Amino acid sequence: MNSKISPSPKQTYCGYIAIIGRPNVGKSTLLNHLIQQKISITSRKPQTTRHQILGIRTLKQFQMIYVDTPGLHQHTPRALNRAMNRAASRALHDVDLILFMSDGLHWTTDDEWALKKVIRAKAPALLIVNKVDKLAEKSSLLPHLNTLSQKHAFSEVIPLSAKSSEDVARLENIIATYLPEAEFIFPEDQITDRSESFLAAEIIREKLMRHLGQELPYDTAVDIEEYKIEKTSRKKLLRISAVIYVNKAGQKKIVIGEGGERLKIIGQKSRLDMEKLFGHKIFLTLWVKVKSGWADRSGILG
């Protein structure tokens, strides 16, 4: 008899992992290194991350779905901050694992406040003490880890640097052991739930933050007006046109810079990041527009 034996289905593991902590501890940096692509923007400025972003990583039979959040912090004077806190709190529910991040030996009331939310959540939590590469006094680390581990029944306490690929690989192996048995939720090659045009706008916002620092008004917005793939005879070209919205003519001048120099650099750096992320050549045009003045518009190539 010729009985066919069907191969047993491959056992897979899949789960959601929330990355939580006060602003600036390195959540987005860690996510980018876990995914090995820059999908969440980072900067020295707190509150760089304004949107919740899923980062998806499939490795052999494991699929890890990371939820990067705007940082949790206790003072919420603005409606935007409140919305960001809500998004971060929501991310704590229905996840299989929480990565609670802190920064080196620093421990503030915002850390304490974020930790309270973690304690209230049901999922197991790993305490990640980030930026250990910056520690001058390595001997203070162990007592600090001891103090923190008494604050909550963390499943593990992991000191690391989110910028070190070895550290991140070690963390990834630990995370995999917490995933429940489940089918994959996303296709194996998908790395985020966000569209390319969303990511393109975020990249431009990151360059604006890095090149303008405190001069950048908080409500500057980036809008992608055109996003078009053009096929030339040899390769694909992506044509992206984006508008940077500012409030006043004076701010527009600052963004553009002397002789257009600043906008040119912002455009060039954005284009390079986009080419790396999307994998094709990009033709990027940036415009700066004052929100109220529809006629007040100038175009500069990046």
Which range, of 48-56, 212-220, 235-243, 272-280, touches Mg ion by CB under 5 A? 48-56
49 near Mg ion, judged by CB under 5 A: yes
Q: How far apart are CA 251 and CA 254, in angstroms?
A: 5
Q: Which of residues 59-78 bind ligand GDP (CB under 6 A)?
A: 71
Angle at the Cα of 277 from the Cα atoms of 274 and 281, rounded to 5 degrees: 55
Residue closest to ligand GDP, measured at CB? 26
Q: Tell me the closest approach of the beta carbon of residue 27 to ligand GDP, in angstroms.
A: 4
Closest approach of Cβ 28 to Mg ion, in Å? Answer: 3
| 34-57: burial string, b at 16+ Cβ within 10 Å, e else | bbebbbbbbbebebbbeebbbbbb
Q: 162 contacts which partner out of Mg ion, ligand GDP, none, CB within 5 to 8 A by kind?
A: ligand GDP
CA pair distance 258, 9, nearest whole angstrom: 62
Q: Does 211 bind ligand GDP (CB under 6 A)?
A: no
**Nearest CB to Mg ion, comparing residues 28 and 58:** 28
The answer to the question of residue 138 lying near ligand GDP (CB under 6 A) is: no
Q: Tell which positions 29-58 bind ligand GDP, by CB under 6 A.
A: 29, 42-44, 48-49
Using DSSP, state whether 165 is helix, strand or coil: helix
Place of tokens 């909550």: 152
Token pair recorded at residue 160: 């690391």
At residue 58, what are phi and psi to the nearest 5 degrees? -115, 125
Query: At its nearest, how many Å lie between ligand GDP and the CB of residue 11?
Result: 33
CB of 207 to ligand GDP, least distance (A): 14
Nearest distance, CB of residue 167 and ligand GDP, angstroms: 8
CA–CA separation, 9 and 257 (whole Å): 59
CB distance 117 to 22 below 8 Å:
no
238 binds ligand GDP (CB under 6 A): no
Query: How is residue 194 written in tokens?
Result: 């966000």
CA 217 distance to own-chain centroid? 21
User: Which CB, 99 or 222, lies closer to ligand GDP?
Assistant: 99
Residue 29 near Mg ion by CB under 5 A = no
Residues that bind ligand GDP in the complex, under the rule CB under 6 A: 21, 23-29, 42-44, 48-49, 71, 130-131, 133-134, 161-163
